[in-house]
């Protein structure tokens, strides 16, 4: 049998670093989200590009699916082995290969997590900005074109990956991009790989742009009487061109969950959480301007601080937002939505979504990277309530349709995975067929992460 | 004959907007650069996406090449009809379709030029940053992934195009991207089209990001005793994270050409031309910091001004740099080079290039967007000197090899066209074959701009 032959050969290659044990398979068959357990047939832990290449070659020879696995934090079942096969876990390829402060770039292996990278860079005065709420792997973040709280200022993975090494479906290894800051030398294969969710190749090395730590950083919180004022304040801040480093929205329900989880005492009302980067004077000037906008939109006094301790506390609280919400619903699963709309349509998108959630009776705190027009509702699905998943799916579906109606996208940052494939035709029209043609050209056997993203896959 | 059938059908479709007159063919067979005249078989001037679609369908049916034409300012013979066929001139599709100040975006047709767009936006308080030295079309700029003097701060076309409408090789029309600021919904087809030089599709509509005009703008000039000091000053400025809006290098020979052409009185030494954007206080603060860096690197006093008149004059002079250099060599043609390297290698790249040019005896002023690590030598080829073109090609070749050796790219912004195809294998290795596979998948007949960019095309 083809699968057995492939696994025998992989065992010979990897020894104990190929596992078929039930716990390992189940650990790679589970996602953060509501999807059913979908275990692979085996899990491989390569340590070198060469080994990844061999794994892919062997799987290609036997027609066995290959699915990359970073930290498994993706929210649409991206890394689940929908058609079985081999889960390629990058945890052992987690080294920083080269930090070059003089060029403000760094080369890393894909299994490195963003927090580990942050640690490694601490002494350099440089930082890597993209920060999803989970401690995701850099390879997984590239594969999903992730973004985070600082994207409004520093961009997403699309803007912060300079070059990649990728193992293709036939085992060839390519290098895309270079360390030059820009290039017009042909098709942008780096951008094509970013967001391809392991369906076009496995990323084995990444060169990232770094940014200098700003001279001064201020962070603060403002509470608003209602969603409308908070969102309008964001819209005006962006339109005025205030260079916010972060501008995050959390609704009253999220604020309550934060209080319970992190011991904070936020009023249970909508908030904006912001951060400002620049010189001492620039930061003070921006804080004053932003404070005036908050007041204009009916918010409480904007309180801010440049004390590192307070800032850390604030962003730890925000990054733990999902875990705080889940902690308030022990045993529940979440369906996390993720739409992004043009900024002028943000207020109606958030308000209609909140009204819809309220009408459903389902808990669904809203938070998001509103400076980009992107927000999430975390819909709470109780394990023993048969109707919950359908209710949540209905709400998520109406959010997705709303995003498209308002000129936006069904996923601002989480990606397609198993959960959003059904919207691709509507969002992209014939463009989706073009994605399928590219997939067929680069992976004619369809062994890379099958069952996701492209038509008929 | 297939060609004749296609042209007859196109005539029926377009009437006088299809031309086979010698002057029209020759106007579309000539480039800014040193390439031989390569006229198409006909020139078409469509006015709607529908017409572009019909043109492509007819050409596809008869296997006739289709080559987009924007403003014809590309420097590697990109828009020349290397295999004959129909030149599709977008000059009549030059409207601004929709300006949305509240979302800071604009939708335009591809034939609009960047200066015309600038005019249209004047009243809005917004601007589009990408500014190649020529008055290029927005479609051509997208097709070549152009950049300019402000890329160091605002990015290139890669960063400033949100969405496209594209006519594919079989006449299908797709829309890529959306007006949302970010998305993780599948393959980044927008990025794939940017820089594809008309080989994957014809762009018929573009939605661009706009930026708010800064409260204050300061511009200034600093002269340096030698190239080393100027380039080291740039490197340190970037490494310090000073948010320069522009930082351009011109060498002594360029300064001399500017003086002759624009009536300026720059000392005939290397210069940096810079611009700063921000609040009044931020700009003053940055100017002071930059002035200190200039002094540290042996430069003359950094003179700057916030007067609009002076700034305009400065950047008009810079944008006319190429024409100034050409005016000093009446009748000559130019071979304009375009390499980009990691910033830490910039000094050696510029110095080795200048030494090589000096040794050749050929005039070759150097200037460039050095904040990105990108610079050009304009090599002067006299019409009646048989050896000049070979000398220039030798210098250009050594520059390209130098760029690759230093971890950079053979083209920072001008693109591949006919001139750089020979370096694609070396720069991209197997990645070039991947580009070929994508091309074959989307344009199996190879009718879109054949003879360029991809292998065996
Ligand atoms: C609490 C929480 C908060 C979150 N917040 C954000 C947020 O703010 N922004 C955001 O963008 N996302 C967010 N996410 C989603 C998730 O963190 C991101 O999608 C992240 O990029 C996934 O990285 P990962 O390493 O966990 O990838 P995985 O889940 O392991 O894999 C994701 C996809 O990438 C593929 N893949 C993994 N590694 C590779 C590789 N080396 N080569 C090729 N393909 C590979 C997988 O096959 C899969 O298709 C959040 C998730 C949670 C649980
Ligand atoms: C003086 C001077 C200075 C310059 N400075 C810069 C600079 O600073 N930065 C920079 O990047 N470049 C620069 N350039 C090069 C040139 O201006 C750019 O390459 C520009 O983007 C070309 O635009 P265009 O409209 O002239 O395109 P064209 O030359 O008409 O075409 C360029 C390519 O795009 C294709 N194309 C055109 N329109 C479309 C369309 N609608 N759909 C699909 N394909 C299309 C053509 O087929 C061709 O392959 C300079 C050129 C000159 C002469």
- Mean of pLDDT values over B350-374: 97
Nearest-angstrom CA–CA distance, B158 and B145: 6
- Taking the Cβ of residue B409 and every Cβ of chain A, the question of whether any pair is shorter than 8 Å is answered with yes
Gap from CA of A17 to ligand 2 centroid (Å): 51
Q: Which own/partner contact pairs does A349-357 have at CB distance under 8 Å and 24+ positions apart? A: A349/A373, A349/A375, A349/A402, A349/A403, A349/A406, A349/A408, A350/A227, A350/A231, A350/A249, A350/A375, A351/A227, A351/A228, A351/A231, A352/A402, A353/A377, A353/A399, A353/A402, A354/A227, A354/A251, A356/A395, A356/A398, A356/A399, A357/A395
Say if the Cβ atoms of A415 and B159 lie within 8 Å.
no
Q: Can you give the pLDDT at residue B101?
A: 93
Gap from CA of B417 to ligand 2 centroid (Å): 10
Say if the Cβ atoms of B185 and A415 lie within 8 Å.
yes
- Mean of pLDDT values over B1-27: 96
- Mean of pLDDT values over B399-413: 98
Say if the Cβ atoms of A182 and B412 lie within 8 Å.
yes
pLDDT digits (tens, 9 = 90+) for A292-341: 999 999 999 998 999 999 999 999 999 999 999 999 999 999 999 999 99
Q: Show residues of chain B in contact with A178, CB under 8 Å.
A: 407-409, 427
Give yes or no for residue B241 having a pLDDT over 80: yes
Q: What separation in angstroms does the CA of B227 have from each of A346, B159, B345?
A: 50, 30, 14
Say if the Cβ atoms of A187 and B437 lie within 8 Å.
no
Percent of chain B at pLDDT above 70? 100
Structural element, H or E, at residue B286: helix B280-296
Whether the CB-CB separation of A112 and A97 falls below 8 Å is answered with no
Gap from CA of B33 to ligand 2 centroid (Å): 12
- Mean of pLDDT values over B22-33: 94
Query: Quick check: CB of B144 below 6 Å from ligand 2?
Result: yes
| Partners of B220 in beta bridges | B274, B304
Six-digit token string for B267? 């000392």
* Mutation target among A170, A177, A187 for the B interface, most CBs of B within 10 A: A187
Nearest-angstrom CA–CA distance, B357 and B351: 10
Nearest-angstrom CA–CA distance, A156 and A152: 8
Nearest-angstrom CA–CA distance, A251 and A270: 4
Q: Can you give the pLDDT at residue B167?
A: 99
- Mean of pLDDT values over A161-190: 98
Six-digit token string for B166? 């594209």
Percent of chain B at pLDDT above 90? 95
Q: How confident is the model at residue A457 (pLDDT cuts 50, 70, 90)?
A: low
- Mean of pLDDT values over B228-232: 93
The residues, any chain, with a CB within 8 Å of residue B419's CB and separated by 6 or more, are B33, B35, B75, B76, B77
Q: Can you give the pLDDT at residue A34?
A: 83
Ligand 1 first shell, C-beta below 6 A: A 32, 67-75, 78-79, 90, 110, 132-134, 136-137, 139-141, 143-144, 146-148, 197-198, 202-203, 322, 413-415, 449
Give yes or no for residue A24 having a pLDDT over 90: yes
pLDDT digits (tens, 9 = 90+) for B189-198: 999 999 999 9
Six-digit token string for B161? 């195009």
Give yes or no for residue A280 having a pLDDT over 80: yes
- Mean of pLDDT values over A250-272: 95
A:B CB pairs within 8 Å: 277
Closest alpha carbon to A375 in A51, A168, A63, A152: A152
Whether the CB-CB separation of A46 and A112 falls below 8 Å is answered with no
Query: Hey, whose CA ends up nearest to atom 16 of ligand 2?
Result: B74
Q: Can you give the pLDDT at residue A32?
A: 83
Q: Show residues of chain A in contact with B415, CB under 8 Å.
A: 184-185
Residues in chain A: 457
pLDDT digits (tens, 9 = 90+) for A436-451: 999 999 999 999 999 9
Regarding predicted confidence, which is higher, B331 or A34? B331
User: What number of helices (H) and strands (E) belong to chain B?
Assistant: 17, 19
Q: Are strands B86-89 and B42-44 parallel, antiparallel or unpaired?
A: parallel
Q: Can you give the pLDDT at residue A189?
A: 98
Q: How confident is the model at residue A239 (pLDDT cuts 50, 70, 90)?
A: confident
Gap from CA of A97 to ligand 1 centroid (Å): 21
The residues, any chain, with a CB within 8 Å of residue A70's CB and separated by 6 or more, are A79, A90, A110, A111, A136, A137, A138, A139, A140, A141, A143
Query: Please, is A119 exposed, middle or buried when counting C-beta atoms within 10 Å of its C-beta (0-12, 13-18, 19+)?
Result: exposed
- Mean of pLDDT values over A2-24: 97
Nearest-angstrom CA–CA distance, A60 and B180: 37
Q: Can you give the pLDDT at residue B119?
A: 97
Give yes or no for residue A373 having a pLDDT over 70: yes
Which of residues 354 through 373 in chain B touch A, CB cutoff 8 A?
A: 372-373
- Mean of pLDDT values over B28-53: 94
Regarding predicted confidence, which is higher, B326 or B32? B326
Q: Show residues of chain A in contact with B429, CB under 8 Å.
A: 174-175
pLDDT digits (tens, 9 = 90+) for B129-174: 999 999 999 999 999 999 999 999 999 999 999 999 999 999 999 9
Closest alpha carbon to A111 in A242, A2, A206, A40: A206
The residues, any chain, with a CB within 8 Å of residue B162's CB and separated by 6 or more, are B105, B177, B178, B179, B180, B181, B190, B207, B208, B209
Give yes or no for residue A383 having a pLDDT over 90: no
For chain A, the average pLDDT equals 96
Structural element, H or E, at residue B403: helix B388-405
- Mean of pLDDT values over A221-238: 94
Q: Can you give the pLDDT at residue B457?
A: 65
Gap from CA of B142 to ligand 2 centroid (Å): 8
Q: Can you give the pLDDT at residue B100?
A: 96
Say if the Cβ atoms of A168 and B441 lie within 8 Å.
no
- Smallest CA–CA distance from A142 into chain B, residue: B184
Q: Can you give the pLDDT at residue A314?
A: 94
Q: Can you give the pLDDT at residue A432?
A: 98
For chain B, the average pLDDT equals 96
Q: Show residues of chain A in contact with B440, CB under 8 Å.
A: 441
The ipTM is 0.97
Percent of chain A at pLDDT above 70? 100
Q: Show residues of chain A in contact with B102, CB under 8 Å.
A: 235, 239, 343-344
Six-digit token string for B282? 């931020």
Closest alpha carbon to B305 in B264, B276, B270: B276
The pTM (predicted TM-score) of the whole model is: 0.97
Q: Are strands B216-223 and B303-305 parallel, antiparallel or unpaired?
A: antiparallel
Nearest-angstrom CA–CA distance, B341 and A208: 16
| Partners of A157 in beta bridges | none
Closest alpha carbon to B202 in B32, B48, B28: B48
- Mean of pLDDT values over A258-287: 94
Mutate to test the pocket of ligand 2, among B95, B134, B197, B371 (most ligand atoms within 8 A of CB): B134
Nearest-angstrom CA–CA distance, A114 and A96: 11
């Amino acid at each position: 049998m083809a699968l057995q032959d492939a696994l025998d050969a992989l065992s010979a290659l990897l020894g104990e670093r190929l596992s078929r044990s039930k716990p390992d398979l189940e650990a790679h068959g589970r996602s953060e989200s509501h999807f059913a357990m979908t275990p692979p047939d085996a899990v491989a832990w390569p340590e070198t590009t060469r080994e990844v290449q061999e794994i892919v070659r062997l799987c290609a020879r036997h027609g066995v699916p290959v699915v990359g696995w970073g930290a498994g934090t993706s929210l649409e079942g991206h890394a689940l082995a929908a058609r079985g096969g081999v889960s390629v876990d990058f945890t052992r390829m987690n080294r920083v290969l080269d930090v070059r402060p003089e060029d403000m770039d760094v080369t890393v292996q894909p299994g490195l997590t963003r927090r580990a990278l942050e640690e490694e860079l601490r002494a350099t005065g440089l930082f890597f900005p993209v920060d999803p709420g989970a401690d995701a792997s850099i390879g997984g973040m590239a594969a999903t074109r992730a973004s985070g709280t600082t994207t409004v200022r520093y961009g997403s993975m699309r803007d912060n990956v300079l070059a990649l090494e990728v193992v293709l479906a036939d085992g060839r290894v390519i290098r895309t991009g270079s360390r030059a800051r820009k290039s017009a030398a042909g098709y942008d294969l780096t951008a094509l790989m970013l967001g391809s969710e392991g369906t076009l190749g496995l990323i084995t090395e990444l060169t990232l742009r770094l940014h200098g730590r700003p001279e001064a950083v201020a962070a603060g919180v403002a509470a608003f009487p209602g969603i409308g004022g908070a969102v309008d304040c964001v819209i005006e801040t962006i339109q005025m061109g205030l260079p916010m480093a972060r501008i995050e929205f959390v609704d009253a329900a999220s604020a309550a969950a934060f209080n319970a989880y992190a011991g904070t005492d936020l009023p249970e009302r909508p908030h904006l959480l912001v951060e400002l980067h620049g010189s001492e004077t620039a930061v003070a000037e921006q804080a004053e301007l932003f404070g005036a906008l908050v007041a204009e939109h009916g918010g409480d006094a904007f309180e801010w601080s440049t004390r590192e301790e307070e800032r850390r506390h604030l962003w730890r609280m925000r990054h733990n937002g999902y875990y705080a919400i889940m902690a308030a619903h022990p045993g529940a699963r979440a369906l996390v939505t993720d739409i992004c709309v043009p900024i002028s349509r943000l207020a109606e998108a958030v308000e209609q979504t909140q009204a819809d959630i309220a009408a459903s009776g389902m808990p669904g705190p809203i938070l998001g990277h509103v400076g980009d027009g992107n927000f999430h509702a975390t819909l709470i699905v109780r394990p023993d309530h048969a109707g919950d998943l359908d209710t949540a799916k209905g709400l998520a579906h109406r959010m997705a349709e709303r995003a498209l109606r308002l000129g936006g996208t069904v996923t601002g940052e989480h990606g397609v995975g198993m959960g959003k494939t059904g919207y691709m035709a509507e969002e992209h029209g014939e463009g989706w067929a073009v994605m399928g043609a590219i997939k067929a050209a680069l992976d004619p056997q369809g062994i890379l992460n099958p069952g996701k993203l492209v038509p008929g896959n």
